[in-house]
Amino acid sequence: MTEVYGAIYHKLDVIGVLSVSEYDVIKNDPLMPLYIDRLGPDRYAIARNRLVDGVMVPDPDMEIWVDHEKKFAEPLTYQDQKGRKVVYPEPGKVNLTIKNELVTYLDHWLTEMINDGYRRN
């Protein structure tokens, strides 16, 4: 399972997420744009948002922690119109079911975005 964290880091790098210093948007018409926020030196948020009844809805929005030295990354949160999932609900506690689900999802989602041509210029 640990190699998937390296794969996630690599995919974030291929897309260009890791080179964002503050905020950027990757447009990939006709697909939804990818919004990237650098929340700190080791935290990023990536989201694709769509307009539903005049309101921007995350589809999805994920927060990701990265270790640049070890070159691995893991999801921390997931949010969409159905709700929010948190890997670390409180200090010292981890929800392993959510963590495994989000790792699998993020790895697949990033692969899909790479295959769809999402790249930061």
Q: What is the pLDDT along the chain (121 residues), one digit of tens a residue?
A: 579 999 999 999 999 999 999 999 999 999 999 999 999 999 999 999 877 788 777 789 999 999 999 999 999 999 998 899 999 999 999 999 999 999 999 999 999 999 999 999 7
| Domain limits, the chain | 2-115
Which pLDDT belongs to residue 113? Answer: 96
Q: Are 48 and 30 in contact (CB under 8 A)?
A: no
106: three-class secondary structure by DSSP: helix
pLDDT the model gives residue 1: 55
DSSP output for 46-77: EEEEEEETTEEEEEEEEEEEEETTTTEEEEEE
CA triplet 115, 119, 121: central angle to 5 degrees? 160
**Residue 88: predicted pLDDT:** 97
Decide if 33 contacts 15 (C-beta within 8 A).
Answer: no
What local confidence, expressed as pLDDT, does residue 51 receive? 75
- This prediction has a pTM of 0.91
